[in-house]
Chains A and B, each alone.
Chain A
Amino acid sequence: MTVTPDPANPDPAVPVRRPELAVWKFASCDGCQLTLLDCEDELLGIAEQVRITHFLEASSAPGPGPYDLSLVEGSVTTPQDAERIRRIRAASRRLVTIGACATAGGVQALRNYADVAEFRAAVYARPDYIETLATSTPISAHVPVDFELRGCPIDRGQLVEVITAHLAGRTPDVPAHSVCFECKRRGTVCVTVAHGTPCLGPVTHAGCGALCPAYDRGCYGCFGPSDSVNFPSFIPLLRRDGMDTLDVVRVLRTFNTAAPEFDAESRKEARQ
């Protein structure tokens, strides 16, 4: 079994220990943590290198911490969760968010544009039983975050990279360019140029490997904004391909609703 030296404890006289990994869930669909269980080829290898001390979806023997690496899925939507993330942060040496919920509020952040009291009354006969915040916010709105992994859901390869980078004490190699680059690399014909299909690829963060265009559909932005978004030249393209203002607002307000770039642009559009 290979044991990675603990970067915080480099003294060779002290016996090495396996770093402790914890996985936490907030408001979410479980999809991003399932991605960890979907790393079939790597799962047992990862489990040899780290001690998975807290992972409720997979283990009924949670450990108390502190944790070397906490992976956090989901957004903060209740007062208790706002407290819980502080405790988790305090018990974690590094904290990485996994997925659009944890990084940008997730699909549940659609409440941020609505009256939550009305939402609650629409879904529950006894809304008074339900305790919830008026907003769904990313983890970074509550505590400092060391790294944010995007995607709804996250990509398996990127997750393995983030975990191994942490074990090696280096920065994860996760490119911040747009989906367009991945289409080019994959050799996929541009759906906008070839078929006039509206596609969020130019403003969406890479990571999925340009999946949607390869399946003949436009990107709908599930990896959230890329590092350089140029909406003034991009929005007219969507309109040319047949999207009206409402369509643009809706596509920006889906899984990465609360990402600042998408949020600002959708509010601008909605004002029109």
Chain B
Amino acid sequence: MTHRETKVLRVDSLARVEGEGALHLRLDGGRVTEAHLKIYEPPRFFEAFLRGRSHMEPPDITSRVCGICPVAYQMSACRAIEDACGVTVEGQLAALRRLLYCGEWIESQTLHIYLLHAPDFLGHDSVIDLARTHPAHVERGLALKQTGNAVMELLGGRAIHPVNVRLGGFHRVPAKGELRPLAERLRRARDAAEATVRWVAGFDFPDAGCDHDFLALAEPGTYAIGAGTPTAMPAPGSAGLPPDSDRALSLRTFPVRDFPEHVIETQVPHSTALHSRLDGGRHLTGTLARYAISGRWLPPDVLRTAREAGLGDPREGTVCRNPFRSIIVRAVEVLYAVGEALRLIDAYEPPPRPYIDVPPRAATGHGATEAPRGLLYHRYTLDAGGTVTDAALVPPTAQNQAAIEHELRRAVQHRLDSGGHPTDAELTALCERVIRNHDPCISCSTHFLDLTVERE
């Protein structure tokens, strides 16, 4: 660029993301000197007021952190507290939890695909505008989303803040026959999910890559959802890796209880959300990371669809690092979740009791699960009577914030370098897209601190 000027571009309210955030870009003579994703969502202090509550309460209370992924909060809370109490939920109760989580994945990922993200690719402001030009697609999306809601409603009572989850399992478990109508719906939804993959695979994708480390849970043999070991895949070129190798060989894992030592949160002045780093580096959690790490364990039919959609074959080490293509991966995950829900229903036998007992003890417990938008970690310390004395919640968006800011800087710089004089409106639209690629849930990114920071 020839002209030299300093300008500040502000987008005061980001649209089509969950929660509220703003963006602050500083450009200095054709260079991006600052890209701040500002999260101005007011703090809600969950970690503070969880202290003093009974160990039975965090699943209900923390679900209110985020109405878009309440099951993720309930599941991470249950796992962490059960870990503290030395209890493991297995068998059909674990299967029902996975089924409930599949419902949330279907609902939340479809919401993002159709209502929040697709309008970007098709030049629309909202799903309502999109419905004018693509009515059949939007109706299919809404029906698919409704199927996810139906799973959550049957198992959880309602789709937002389900009431049926408790420590050790559920308040009530369904009889086998109760799940039958759900199976019917899911079978129909499979076509809609396949069509979704094909539809989004046909969008126009800007060339882009990202060089963050990936972090996701892994459960070898299956696509991790509600359990697994934190697993990191380093970015190509990092730490002595050949530039284009992204192989499974380079994966490193650590136990969930060591999460606080690996993922460190720090506070930055411009945001009520905390930034976190994985072993000192920038990392990304969520759809792209999950697919890179667990993709090879997808069932063959889902993998075939993914290959046809241009995602390559994760079993051969292909990794999708284009954040714009996350919409395809999300669609593949919906297809997987629909099939997985059907499999779980087919294999369902009602357990003898709806829950196992979780007697409290004085201990600290850790739990992590895969929220639709990434790894969600909880930690609780209980006293002998079961009162929570300390709590920490590390949501995916807080982990992704540094990576998103990095992508913002790169995307804007790339746009400036490619000449012309992009208008503010054009840059704004570009930045919004970059942010939306990661489905940030800003409402849940704002109330968290790993207290290890304070202890340092």
Contact = CB atoms under 8 A, between A and B. Distances in A.
Interface stretch (A123-131, A168-176, A229-237, A261-269): A123-131
A118 B49 CA distance: 11
A62 interface: yes
B217 interface: no
Nearest to A113: B49
Nearest to B119: A60
B68 A30 contact: yes
11 contacts: A31-B67, A34-B68, A34-B160, A122-B45, A123-B449, A125-B267, A126-B269, A132-B43, A217-B164, A217-B166, A247-B54
A118 B47 CA distance: 12
Contacts of B44: 27, 77, 107-108
A107 B60 CA distance: 11
Interface residues of B, number: 72
B167 to A, nearest CB: 12
A35 B64 CA distance: 14
A114 B49 CA distance: 9
Interface in B404-456: 432, 441, 443-444, 447-449, 451, 453-454
A34 B64 CA distance: 13
B42 A26 contact: yes
A192 interface: no
B224 interface: no
A246 to B, nearest CB: 9
A212 B142 CA distance: 27
Interface string B45-61: 11111010110010011
Contact of B128 (A25, A31, A47, A119): A47
B34 interface: no
Contact of A37 (B47, B111, B143): B111
A83 to B, nearest CB: 13
B48 A122 contact: yes
A25 B145 CA distance: 23
Contact of A25 (B20, B149, B164): B20
B75 interface: no
A75 to B, nearest CB: 9
A107 B267 contact: no
Contacts of A211: 157-158, 163
Contacts, number: 185
Nearest to A73: B67
A38 B159 contact: yes
Nearest to B18: A30
A79 B14 CA distance: 21
Contact of B448 (A43, A62, A123): A123
Contact of A215 (B13, B15, B164): B164
B48 A44 contact: no
Contact of A122 (B20, B42, B47, B145): B47
Contacts of B453: 125
B45 A108 contact: yes
Contacts of B70: 29, 31
Contact of B61 (A31, A58, A107, A111): A107
Interface string A125-165: 11001101000000000000000000011000000000000
Contacts of A212: 157, 163, 171
A216 B171 CA distance: 6
Interface string A190-218: 00000000000000000010011011110
A5 to B, nearest CB: 22
B49 A57 contact: no
The residue in B57, B158, B160, B453 that gathers the most chain A C-beta atoms within 10 A of its C-beta is B160
Contacts of B16: 56-60
A60 B18 contact: no
Interface in A16-44: 25-32, 34-35, 37-38, 40-41, 43-44
Nearest to B454: A125
